[in-house]
Amino acid sequence: MDIALIGYGKMGHALEAMAPERGHRIVCTIDTDEEWTSKLPQLQQADVAIEFTMPSIAASNLRKCMEMGVPVVCGTTGWYDAYDEIVTLCRQKGGALFTATNFSIGMNIMFALNERLDQLMAAHPEYKASISETHHIHKLDAPSGTAVTLRQQIHRDDVPIESIREGEVPGTHTVRYDSEIDTISLTHEAHSRRGLALGALMAAEYLNGKKGIFGMKDLLGY
């Protein structure tokens, strides 16, 4: 496939490095307002765009892709106040959108485990649930979109999230259930951005030729 990268930070570079391994070509990278104009022809020729930018501009980038009819995979989090609007626009334009709070295959397995653990813990209110997440100092949203997803899966009131920003940590998430007797915990620790890049490229492959709104459960069949 021909892929356009919207956002050319660390994730953009990771995607650029991995795409040829899966037989894909990066036809353009867009990282500035000027490049939205100068590289528009290349973007319009792309089979799919992959968007990893910032919460403040993600929705605008998605609108532009929808207007041009370019299918888009979005890995940015923290823009979901505009989610309903973007979904409506996508459907109006007959477009395709794949969103996820985390593209790591391992993290999505943890999502499935977290849902099952929540079911099991429903009969044990003596356990107090909490979440912690640690990311690199460059991450702009807190708590992370992944931590918010984990909290949404837990059917208890006021599950606290501790957000830590330090060094160049790719991402570590832990769900804990503490009681006076013991502690149960689930942890996912990313070792690099390659797992996120792989999942995003798999999402792009899945999205190619489709119309509608999709997520990791569609890709993985969980």
Q: Which region holds residue 12: left if phi is over 0, alpha if psi is between -120 and 50, else beta?
A: alpha
For the question of residue 64 being annotated catalytic, the response is: no
For the question of residue 135 being annotated catalytic, the response is: yes
Find the catalytic residue in 135, 155, 173, 211. 135
Instruction: Please calculate the CA angle 83-135-187 and round it to the nearest 5 degrees.
Output: 90
Find the catalytic residue in 10, 39, 93, 139. 139
How far, in Å, CA of 201 to CA of 11, rounded?
12
What distance, in Å, lies between the first and last C-alpha atoms of the chain? 26
How far, in Å, CA of 69 to CA of 44, rounded?
8
Please answer whether residues 131 and 175 qualify as being in contact, where contact means their C-beta atoms are separated by less than 8 angstroms.
Answer: yes
Instruction: Determine the length of the chain.
Output: 222
Amino acid, res. 93: K
How far, in Å, CA of 26 to CA of 196, rounded?
17
The 10 Å Cβ neighbour count of residue 215 is 14
What strands lie across the sheet with 172-178, from one edge to the other? Answer: 161-165, 128-135, 172-178, 183-189
Determine the 3-state secondary structure of 172 from DSSP: strand
The catalytic residues are: 135, 139
